[in-house]
Homo-oligomer: A and B are copies of this chain.
Amino acid sequence: MPNTIRVTIWNEFRHEQQDERVKRIYPAGIHEAIAAHLRPHPGIAVRTATLDEPEHGLTQEVVDQTDVLIWWGHIAHHEVADHVVDRVHKAVLGGMGLVVLHSGHYSKIFQRLMGTTCSLKWREAGERERLWVVAPGHPIVEGIGEAIELEEEEMYGEFFDIPEPDTLVFVSWFTGGEVFRSGCCFYRGKGKIFYFRPGHETHPTYHNPQIGRVILNAVRWAAPVRGPEITWDNVPPREPLQK
């Protein structure tokens, strides 16, 4: 793990500028609410990037200097340029961590990495979500109780069309009768991906300290490892071929 984990928080940042209700909850943007959980920690360096910046704030230079990328998007997934998605995809397979939040399930980058539709059920009714821990020894639940309670959230329900997670960490209960695999770890290439369900823009979820703690833990878990350089393609034998 690097001594300092360089985190880039990417936010679509549209709702907060267009919708008064969201602006009241996240006046500086969802990215700043998330950043507030990470900035106090020595060993984590935070920057932010948003859709309407040039290259969406994700130039090659920024991506090259990012250890873990956090992603929140919703209504403008289609505006994310394909060449930026290609760049992020390549970086993740090369080792950059990726934490995909809530409606980011339909982002181009998440769909690309999963290879599936990432479809799900949803309902905006401000009902209760209770995230139960099903992997109590996993580093992503450090400091977390056996369930996280959110008084008001959008519902997401199964079937969630993703590959079976390499480790399933949380399963959510919703008042209206649904369940959801809400904390999912994936290894892809040299990279690690964590999908974390909560965080609809009309609820103050990212001000919740337990949610912040999970994101902090996920950043640490997803940070790159200085593992092997891989040799691809045509290789000579390591042992004699004649017997």
Complex interface: chain B residues within 8 A of A95 (CB): 137
**What CA separation (Å) do A70 and B93 show in the bound complex?**
27
Residue of B178, B186, B237 near A238 (CB, 8 A) is B178
Name the prevailing secondary structure of the A interface residues. Answer: loop
A174: B residues at CB distance < 8 A: 173
Contacting pair B145 A167 (CB below 8 A): no
Report how many residues on chain A are interfacial, defined by Cβ distance under 8 Å: 79
From B93, B137, B187, B233, contact of A187 by CB (8 A):
B137
* A142 adjacent to chain B (CB < 8 Å): yes
Residues of B within 8 A of A135 (CB): 164, 187
Minimum CB–CB distance for A130 against chain B, Å: 6
11 A-B pairs with CB atoms under 8 Å apart are: A93-B116, A119-B230, A122-B233, A133-B158, A135-B164, A136-B189, A144-B227, A145-B229, A146-B229, A159-B230, A164-B187
